[in-house]
Structure formats: C-alpha cells, structure tokens
C-alpha cells in the first residue's frame, strides 16, 4: 500500500482525528448515499468491508446485515470494537487469498477509499481477493477520489494532497475492474458542500456455473 503518512497527514492515523475530518468532509451524508444507492442492503446480507477504517458505515446499515471489516490499522480496529461491539466482526490485518475460506461467502465486498492507495498490481490483487470472497453472482463496490476534466480546482487540490499516491481518472479505475470482469458500472459524483470528486464503481462477478 502506498500512502503518505508523514507531516500533517500523520495525524490521520489517530481514529478521532480521522473521523472528525471525515465528518467535516461530509462523510456521514456520503455513507448514507453509498448505502442506499450502492450497498442496497437486504435482510441477512453478508458484507465484507476491506479497508473498513473505524467502521462508521455501520451507522448507516440496518442491524440485520452481517458485517465483517478488515483494516491494517490496529488503532482503527480498536476504535471500531469499542464503538460497535458485536454489531460486526473487526479484523486487524490484510485479508489474503489463502485466508478467504475462513469466512462464509459474502453478497457484497466493499472497498471505500482503498484503490487509490494501491498501484496497479496491488489493486488487481485486491480485486482478486474481493472476488474470491463473494458468493457466485456477488458484487464488489468501490469508491475513491477521482481526477476529472473540468473538476472544481479546490477538489483537484484536495485530491492532489490525499494520502493515497495512486488516484486515477475514471478510465483508470475502469481498467482495473475490467481485468476481473466485463460487468462493470461506474459513476462520477461531484460534491459541492466541500468540493470533491469521487468515482463509484460496481463490479458483478459471474456465477461459477456461467
């Protein structure tokens, strides 16, 4: 994973600072939008959240979703366990292909703000692990900052100073997903309360019998 964690960016490693900044950036509204538009929960849904951070998405999920979150930050995982307890299973580390079988298959695997931290090889490995964790016909949903022609200059400035060093344009994210499946849809979303640009992408993995 490639990210800048020195200087002022180092404070984002602290869960309270990270969550506060996310709140100021409109993360709560974004999470509700993401859940309603892209997660689309249903009773008994199994959701795997790779790069879950402090698992704040649980605030927007109904309680009957079976949630498993992974993050490499011990501080973030500890904060998630303190706040949400048995609302989910919180694992510190990087889910590896060999460990996918430890979990029952999932209906949805999400990666919120993950791909822009990964170079192409690592991003492809992430997508392969996500696909291996899915039930046949399951979905992968990712959302990341995105470079786009004509975007607000403030958005471009904020994105250029992101901790992730692999922010792509829409075509770049699509190219990653299409190495895995042709069934990919994406949407560019510009926000205005604090100018920002995000790429929302859904990938459906074909059923094994196809």
What domains are there in the chain, each with its CATH number?
7-97+104-204 (3.40.50.150)
103 with 133: CB under 8 angstroms?
yes
Question: What does the chain come to in residues?
Answer: 210
Q: What is the pLDDT of residues 158-171, one digit of tens each?
A: 999 998 999 999 99
* Distance of alpha carbon 77 from alpha carbon 15, whole angstroms: 9
Mean pLDDT, rounded, for 28-33: 86
- DSSP3 helix / strand / coil % (the chain, rounded to 5): 40, 25, 30
Helix (H) or strand (E) run with residue 155 in it: helix 153-160
| pLDDT in the model for residue 27 | 72
Instruction: Label the pairing between strands 184-191 and 106-112.
Output: unpaired
The per-residue pLDDT for 28 is 78
Tokens 């509700």 sit at which residue? 32
Instruction: Please state, in angstroms and rounded to a whole number, the distance separating the CA atoms of residues 53 and 12.
Output: 11
**Tens-digit pLDDT profile for residues 174-201:** 999 999 999 999 999 998 888 999 999 9
Which pLDDT value is given to residue 5? 46
- Give the lowest-confidence range in 13-22, 65-74, 131-140: 13-22
Q: What is the phi/psi pair of residue 26, to 5°?
A: 85, 25
Q: Give the model's confidence band at 9: pLDDT under 50 very low, under 70 low, under 90 confident, else very high.
A: very low
Distance CA 35, CA 185 (A): 16
Phi/psi for 63 (5° steps) reads: -70, -15
Q: Mean of the per-residue pLDDT values for the chain?
A: 89
Run of H or E residues at 25: none
Q: Which of 27-41, 77-91, 92-106 has the lowest mean pLDDT?
A: 27-41
Contact 181, 202 (CB under 8 A): no
Residue 30 or 110, more confident: 110
CA nearest to 116, candidates 157, 156, 163: 163
Of 182 and 208, more confident: 182
**Does pLDDT of 69 surpass 70?**
yes
Whether the per-residue pLDDT at 14 is higher than 90: the answer is no
* 3-state class (DSSP) for residue 32: helix
Q: Residue range 69-94: average pLDDT? A: 96
pLDDT bracket for residue 206 (50, 70, 90):
confident
**Res. 66: pLDDT tops 80:** yes
């Amino acid at each position: 994973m490639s990210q800048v964690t020195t200087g002022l960016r180092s404070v984002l490693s602290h869960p309270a600072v990270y969550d506060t900044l996310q709140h100021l950036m409109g993360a709560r509204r974004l999470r509700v939008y993401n859940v309603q538009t892209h997660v689309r929960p249903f009773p008994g849904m199994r959701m795997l959240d790779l790069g879950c951070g402090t698992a704040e998405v649980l605030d927007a999920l109904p309680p009957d979703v079976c949630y498993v979150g992974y993050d490499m930050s011990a501080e973030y995982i500890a904060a998630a366990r303190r706040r949400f307890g048995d609302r989910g299973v919180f694992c510190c580390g990087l889910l590896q292909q060999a460990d996918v079988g430890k979990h029952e298959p999932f209906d949805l695997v999400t990666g919120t703000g993950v791909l822009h931290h990964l170079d192409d090889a690592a991003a492809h490995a992430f997508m392969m692990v996500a696909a291996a964790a899915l039930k046949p016909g399951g979905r992968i949903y990712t959302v990341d900052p995105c470079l786009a022609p004509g975007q607000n200059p403030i958005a471009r400035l904020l994105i250029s100073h992101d901790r992730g060093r692999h922010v792509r344009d829409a075509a770049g994210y699509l190219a990653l997903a299409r190495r895995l499946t042709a069934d990919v849809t994406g949407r560019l979303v510009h926000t205005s309360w604090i100018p920002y640009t995000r790429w929302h992408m859904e990938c459906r993995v074909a059923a094994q019998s196809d």
